Structures are given as structure tokens and as C-alpha cells.
Chains A and B, each alone.
Chain A
Amino acid sequence: MEMDKKLVIPGDFLSDDAKQADEGTYVENGKVFSSVFGIASLKDRIRVVPLSGKYIPRAGDMVIGVIKEIAFSNWIVDIRSPYEGLLHISEFPRRIESADMPKYLNIGESIMTLVRDVDANMKVELTLNDQRLRPVKEGRVIEVTPSKVPRLIGRGGSMIAMLKNETGCNIFIGQNGRVWITGKDKGMDLAARAILKIERETHISGLTDRITRFLKEEKGGKPKEKEPEKEEPEKIETAPAEQEEKQEEETEPLPAEEEKVKEHKPGGILDELLGNGK
């Protein structure tokens, strides 16, 4: 762990400079204390990244949600938070009738969605009107602690870029800690294992190097003994994560699908949603 970082518990004194107080801290009598159990960084701003905790939605966050209910004109979406997300019918990329809602998005289906607004009562409004969004129809979704999402992405996206590169998978990380992986089975297994390893070891220094080494080793040592177990669709390590979508295993058009995810086709999400409509 770097010198300017340390493990703190709630109530630990951090600094006399109240102006520098940031997330995970509170100020009392001009002094800054930690409000959570986590890793404090004292460089620049004083903040504490909690080691655990729930996702609290903020406007602008991209998250992965699961439709859990269909109300009159809203989809009620589980976004892995104390607060449910509301996706209003008018936030669907096309004008649809209320009665047709289950045709386009039914209960149990997963979506990438954008938090449009969160009000003071923690009413969370979601939208699908964004070209970056996709319905989650293939691949797998695993869950990590939301506070560890920044480490998973890495500085300037370095960690996630490396992961994508090494595993040949496309990976989307929702701010709510749901991670969507698409690609070949072996790649997805490796990516899932690497992500869960990152989650476990966020607080140990030299993370990027260690993950790079891990991926290299796993790929290098594969042909011998790792091969047979890799064929199994679900590894134990992915068990804690929800596998929300039925996996379209062994269907080869996956690379093509992956392309589609990368490219910003005009009306991409709409096409996919409509394609989904039965």
C-alpha cells in the first residue's frame, strides 16, 4: 500500500484541514474524521474509499439493471441499491403503448441504463435514450462491491483496457458494481476470475502488475491441465455473481455480436430492443 494511504475505521482522525474533506469523511470542530471503514488517501483531497457498502445512485451513472416489475407506465428496475429505479415509458427510445411494455422489456430481463435524475426523496429516474446503452442479452453478468468499481476501471481506464485486451472480451462495468462480460467462453471465464481477483485485492499494492501476471500465467499454462475445467460453462468463482441471462453457449456468432457492441450503430439499442420484441 502506498505511503499516502492507510486503513482507517469510522471516527479516525485524518486532518486539521477541513477544506480538504471529501467523500467518506465528516468534519467536526474543524477537524476531519473518517466516516467509514476503508482506505484513506490524504493526497490532495482527503477521502476514504469504503471496503464495502451499497450502491447509491447518482445522475449520470451508467448501471446494469434487472426489470423486476411493470407498473402502469414505468418499468421498475432493480439497480442493486436501496432504491429502485424507475424507467418511464417515455424514456424508451421509441414511442410505445403501455400495454406493449412487456413485449419490449419483460420482467427478469437485464438492461444497461443511465441514471437520468435522482431527487431528494431518492426517486431514481432511469433512461434508455442514450446511444451507449444496450440490452443485456448475451454473455454474463457478475457482481462486485460498488466501491471497488474505480479500481476495476483503473486510472484512465487502464485496468479495464488491459483486461479486455488480454481476454478478448468486451467488458462493461456498471457503477452499481454489475459487470457485463461478452466474448468467448474461455475469455469470459478468465475475465470473471480476474475481476473477482481484483475485487478481493483492491487494497494490496501493485494490483495492475499482479493482474497482468495472473492473466499471462493463466493463458500460458492453459494447454496442459487447465483446459478441461475451463470448458465447464460455470466456474465456482463466478457462482456468487448472478448469471442473469441464459448463455448462448457455443453459438459462434459471438465475435460478430461483440463487434456490434463496440460499434455505435445508429439506433443500436432500439434495434436490439425491437429485435428482442417477440
Chain B
Amino acid sequence: MTKPEKLIENGIRLDGRKPDELRPIKIKVGVLNRADGSCYFEFGGNKVIAAVYGPREVHPRHMQKSTSAVVRYRYNMASFSVEERKRPGPDRRSIEVSKVSREALEPVIFQEYFPRSAIDIFVEVLQADAGTRTAGINAASIALADAGIPMKSLVSACAAGKIDDTVVLDLNKDEDNYGQADMPIAMTPEGNITLLQMDGHLTRDEFGEAFELAKNGCKAIYELQRAALMEKYASQMEGDVIE
């Protein structure tokens, strides 16, 4: 795709959304049997799957901490997740995304409950459409809860940015490619920010605006995350006998 003439016209974006509108989200909890906790998360064109293992023994041994669990986060894009084949394996970008995503989740995990153990989080991106790190964090936080790992709260993440001098919520691929700024954030429902990155340029005022927008996006996502977890068990609770 070449750069479209306009990314936003009369307050309507290329995909028909308003500036403060999120892409559609679909969540499914417990999609993997082998993992202790798992989650499938669709965020517009992004499709990611998160698996959580642990707490479990740490290998290699020297990585273990004597007073708390180590949290390991592996973000990986499938070679078919983007238009041009992505060369498989970790690269600069995915190593960075893994690090910041881990740091976005670590503050809510009660790591000190499990000394000398590891909590492993794997996020696989099946299809990418801008905002995979936020989708991954959303999925991973649900998968952690599903694994029964003690946490202060869930973490929700979403991005805001600037296209055609307009501050908008949740950029898609074209908006990300041809827009002026992209700013992913992650936060707890109480409003503690655990991830804040920015690519591009924003004025101070625009930053404030984008930040508020992204916070509201996170709040909306939180409600969906909660609903997805509730749904896993609520459906069983209504019916009396399930055979």
C-alpha cells in the first residue's frame, strides 16, 4: 500500500473508526491444554496467543533468584504474521518488545511468593496489524490469571498516536506506517502505568491528549478482559449439571 492521501477525513479514519474508537476485540481464555494458563486475543487485525507456564523450576539454574521468581517473557512473531515473510527467530525488535512487555507485567506479579522458580510467558503473534505488543500484554495478563498466579491486578494495554495532525486511539497498520506518532501504554485498572513508549513526535499538549485517550482505551479493554475471565466459569455455573 502506498501512502493514502488522507488518513482521516471529517473525523472518520480509513477503517471507518472515530478518533477515540478501539478496533474490535475478541478474547478466549484457556485455549491451550498443555499450558498452565493461556489466552487467545484478537485486536482488530492482530491475532496473538499467550501461554503461561509456572511457577516451575528454573533452567538454566544460574538464572534463578533466591528470594523471588524470575519472570521470562518471549514475544515472537510468526514468519507468516506479516505481508513480507518475517525471518524466524529473535531479532532486535522482538527482544526489545519482550523486555518492555515483561517489565509491564512484573510490577503486578507477586514474584516473592515463589522463590527459586520461574514464570514463563510466551506470546506468539499469528497475524500482525500494528499494536502487537499491546495485544500481547493484554493476552499475557489474562493467561497469568488463568494460570492461577497471584497478581495485584490485571494489566491492560493499548496505543494512541497522531495521524494527519489528529490524535487518535489504537492505530492500525496504515496509520502506524504513515502516521506521525505511535505511543503504546500499559496500565493497571488503578491507573498505574507500567509501559510507556513513543515513536514519532508529539507536542506536550498532544502527548497529554494521547495519554488520556490511551488510558480510556485501557479501561475499556480491562472490562473486556474481566468479562472474558468471568465467562470461562460463569457459563458452567448457570447450568446445573454439565456432562
Residues of A participating in the B interface, judged by any CB pair closer than 8 Å:
1, 7, 9-11, 24, 26, 28, 33, 35-38, 50-54, 56, 82-84, 120-122, 147, 200-201, 203-204, 206, 210
Contacts and interface: CB of A to CB of B under 8 A. Distances in A.
Contacts of B56: 54, 82
Nearest to A210: B241
B152 A37 contact: no
Contacts of A52: 36-37, 146-148
Interface in B135-194: 145-154, 188-190
Contacts of B37: 52
Contacts of B154: 9-11
B230 interface: yes
A1 B116 CA distance: 37
A36 B110 CA distance: 10
B242 A122 contact: no
16 contacts: A9-B154, A10-B154, A11-B153, A11-B190, A35-B151, A36-B150, A36-B151, A51-B233, A54-B55, A54-B56, A82-B56, A82-B117, A83-B57, A84-B57, A122-B115, A210-B241
Given A26-B152, A147-B148, A204-B240, A35 B110 contact: yes
A36 B36 CA distance: 14
Interface of B: 36-37, 54-57, 66, 108, 110, 113-118, 145-154, 188-190, 226, 229-230, 233-234, 236-237, 240-242
Contacts of A120: 115
Contact of B110 (A26, A56, A82, A206): A26
A121 B116 contact: yes
Contacts of B229: 9, 37
B237 A11 contact: no
Contacts of A9: 145, 154, 226, 229-230
Nearest to B33: A240
Given A11-B153, A54-B56, A82-B57, A38 B236 contact: no
B129 to A, nearest CB: 28
A5 to B, nearest CB: 10
Contact of A37 (B66, B145, B188, B237): B145
Given A121-B116, A122-B116, A11 B55 contact: no
Contacts of B145: 9-10, 36-37
Given A10-B153, A82-B56, 13 more contacts: A7-B230, A7-B237, A35-B151, A36-B148, A52-B146, A52-B147, A53-B149, A82-B116, A84-B57, A122-B117, A147-B148, A200-B236, A210-B241
A210 B110 CA distance: 37
- Which of B54, B149, B189, B240 has most chain A Cβ within 10 Å? B149
A206 B240 contact: yes
A84 B150 CA distance: 21
B236 to A, nearest CB: 6
A251 B110 CA distance: 50
Nearest to A53: B148
Contacts of B115: 120-122
Nearest to A36: B150
Given A9-B154, A9-B226, A51-B233, A83 B116 contact: yes
A210 B241 CA distance: 8
Nearest to A37: B145
Nearest to B228: A9
B202 to A, nearest CB: 30
Given A26-B152, A37-B145, A56-B114, A82 B233 contact: no
A84 B114 CA distance: 13
Given A11-B188, A201-B236, A203-B237, A54 B152 contact: no
Contacts of A203: 233, 236-237
A200 B37 CA distance: 16
A198 to B, nearest CB: 12
A35 B233 contact: no
Contacts of B147: 52-53
A121 B114 CA distance: 10
- Which of B108, B150, B154, B236 has most chain A Cβ within 10 Å? B150
B36 A54 contact: yes
A230 B115 CA distance: 45
B193 to A, nearest CB: 16
Nearest to A10: B151
B237 to A, nearest CB: 6
Contacts of A10: 108, 145, 150-154
Contacts of A35: 110, 150-152
Nearest to A28: B152
Contacts of A210: 240-241
A38 B226 CA distance: 12
A204 B236 contact: yes
Contact of B237 (A24, A26, A82, A204): A204
